[in-house]
Amino acid sequence: MTERIKKASRHTNQSEGLIFEKSSPGKRAFELPPLDVPLADPAKALGALHRSAGVEGFPEVSEIEVIRHFTRLSTWNYAIDLGMYPLGSCTMKYNPRVNEFVARLDGIATEHPCQPQELSQGCLKILRQLEKCLLEITGMDAITLQPAAGAQGELTGLLLIRAYLEKKGNPRKKVLIPDSAHGTNPATAVIAGYEVENIKSESHGQIDVEKLREIVTEDVAALMITNPSTLGIFEERIAEIAGILHAKGALLYMDGANMNALAGVARPGDLGVDVMHLNLHKTFSTPHGGGGPGAGPVATKRSLEPFLPVPVLVERPDGKLALESQRKDSIGKVRAFAGNFGVLVRALAYILAYGPGIRQATEDAVLNANYIRKHLEGVYDLPYSLPSMHEVVFSDSIQKKNGVNTMDIAKRLIDYGFHPYTTAFPLIVPGALMIEPTESESKEECDLFIDAMRAIAEEAATNPQIVKTAPHTTRVGRLDEVTAARKPILRWKSASRTEAAD
């Protein structure tokens, strides 16, 4: 069986404890230049406020130990730089290195958000350029770059909808959310002060338009749609859906997580979308970094522009750019300052690299997903047969017959040298395998993935145990998550601290 595993093999890697376990008084990793003013006495000025001892438990290690520690830790991670992440709806594409370089430039990384605006024209031009590019890509009229992530973008979008409807006299009560939606959608609706009403997908996994017609009343503020859906399928009737909502004075919010299927090919603004967010750490290549930072710009139609969060970027009569904070209908602010600027810089660098050719990335993403789908159809169950765009969703129902589920298959995929696909989501597909290769994958990597998945399907049929007890080749095996939740240990404590606690 192991001859089938072509992409990866075992390799000795270093063990490493916690940094606190290497600490010993007197070791230093970093030195400061000497103080060139008189040393002030904090005890005098601060009295009881003075923290006279160092922070208890803070590590004391040398520079080489810091380098070794984190380098060793890094080798325990999978990463895009090593291979494909077939994670559906995550769009784990290549993070271009020039983006890292420009974000670190003197004059970019060094700028303070409160410095005079006439000394920040470079930053403001970057923001303006990115705004224009994202408006062109989405086909919308106005935009804010402030939200720090997709979820925050969703919140901003819903707050804009609320403000718009409130100005018309009634903010309304409900937000409609398809049962295939990402968890952030309902979580966000609640924070925005709305009730969530779930709408079941119809037999093809699309929004049930007839059902929608029934439930859209004047109590409904908006429908949150993901397009293509979390099944990777384009919502063909989206214009009709927008029409139903608009007829009742409701708005269409689009979760832009799946923009990687549309950029350069179709524009949400043309489809009837009123407000949407983008995930720059998905479609626009900014690095995931183990969980963030991201950015979630929100683009809207003209009618929502007065409500945008402050500050808003404006062009003055003298041609200079300025951040305007006095906007009477603004919803306020969702985070301090103008946004995750460093992330915005990276996204702009990405767009500049492609230019109008950004369509090619979208086409390659859809090509890769369909190529994989073609080679795994019949091997894995395909619950929804409509054409896939940039991602495809299978289920584990064939393998389940031998007691092998999507989680097991995912863990065995690790032995084959890949990160798992998205398991158990969307909720409408029991035992889902959600696969999105992105355009960053070569034919070779796609073929290796297909091969691995086919091999695992065979194993599920002939040797299910090897799949159910995977992974076999990692530093740690499956971890005890039950105990981790029941008796949480969320920090290191020194031995003496633990004794004292008892």
Partner 1 sequence: MRYLPKSPAERQQMLAAIGANSIDELFSEIPERFRLREALSLPGPLSEPEIIAYFKDRAAENSVGYTSFVGAGVYNHVRSVVTDAILQRGEFLTSYTPYQAEIAQGTLQAIFEFQTLMCQLTGQEIANASMYDGSTATTEAVLMAERLTGRRHVLVARSVHPEYRLVLRTYAKNSGLQVEEIPYVAAVGTVDTAALKAAIKADVAAVVVQSPNYFGAIEPVAALAGEVQASGALLVVAVAEAVSLGLIRPPAEADIVAMEAQSLGLPPSYGGPFAGVIASREKFVRQMPGRLAGQTTDGNGRRGFVLTLATREQHIRREKATSNICTNQALCALAATVHMCLLGKEGLREIAHQNFSKAQFALAELEKIPGVKRAFSAPFFNEFTIELPRSVRIVNAHLVREKIIGPLAIGSDFPELSKRGLVCVTETAPRTEIERFVAALRRALEQPI
Q: Which parts of 199-218 interact with partner 1 (CB under 8 A)? A: none
Closest CA to 162 of 128, 119, 195: 195
Site for partner 1 in 430-469 (CB under 8 A): 439-443, 445-446
Residue of 71, 170, 385, 462 that binds partner 1 (CB under 8 A): 71
Of 214-222, 230-238, 297-305, 398-406, which segment contacts partner 1 by CB under 8 A?
230-238
CA distance 345 to 354: 15
Which structure tokens are listed for 407?
């989680």
239 binds partner 1 (CB under 8 A): yes
Q: Which of 3, 38, 203, 210 binds partner 1 (CB under 8 A)?
A: 38
Say how far apart CA 24 and CA 27 lie, in whole Å.
Answer: 6
Decide: is 5 part of the binding site for partner 1 (CB under 8 A). no
Alpha-carbon distances of 273 from 114, 171, 276, 307, rounded to whole Å: 35, 19, 7, 17
Interacting residues of 290 by C-beta distance below 8 A, sequence separation 6+: 77
Give the largest CA-CA distance in the chain: 77
Q: Which among 216-224, 260-268, 299-307, 453-461 is the span making contact with partner 1, rule CB under 8 A?
A: 260-268
Using CB under 8 A, which of 4, 50, 167, 316 touches partner 1?
A: 50
- Smaller CB separation from partner 1, 23 or 303: 23
The verdict on 137 binding partner 1 (CB under 8 A) reads yes
Bond before 116 cis per omega within 30 degrees: no
**Part of the chain binding partner 1 (CB under 8 A), chosen from 125-133, 217-225, 247-255, 452-460:** 125-133
From 104, 167, 168, 200, residue interacting with partner 1 (rule: CB under 8 A): 104
- Examine residue 180 and tell whether it contacts partner 1 (CB under 8 A): no
Output the CA angle 37-39-41, nearest 5 degrees: 145
CB of 365 to partner 1, least distance (A): 10
How many whole angstroms separate alpha carbon 393 and alpha carbon 425? 9
98 binds partner 1 (CB under 8 A): yes
- Angle (CA) 486 413 361, round 5°: 110
Q: Pick the stretch among 213-221, 352-360, 394-402, 429-437 that binds partner 1 (CB under 8 A).
A: 352-360
Using CB under 8 A, pick the residue from 247, 332, 462, 465 that binds partner 1.
Answer: 332
Number of residues lying near partner 1 (CB under 8 A): 199
For residues 160 and 167, what is the distance between their CA atoms, to the nearest angstrom? 11
111 is a contact residue toward partner 1 (CB under 8 A):
yes
28-42 as b/e: b if 16+ CB within 10 A: eeeeeeeeeeeeeee
Angle in degrees, CA 195, 200, 205, rounded to 5: 135
Q: For partner 1, which is the closer residue by CB, 317 or 489?
A: 489
The reply to whether 342 sits near partner 1 by the rule CB under 8 A is yes
Q: Are strands 432-435 and 422-423 parallel, antiparallel or unpaired?
A: antiparallel
CA distance 159 to 171: 10
Nearer to partner 1 (CB atom), residue 414 or residue 461: 414
Among positions 354-413, residues that touch partner 1 (CB under 8 A) are: 354-361, 363-364, 366-368, 370-371, 374-375, 386-387, 389, 410-411
- Closer of 317 and 488 to partner 1 (Cβ): 488
Measured CA to CA, the distance from residue 399 to residue 462 in angstroms comes to 11
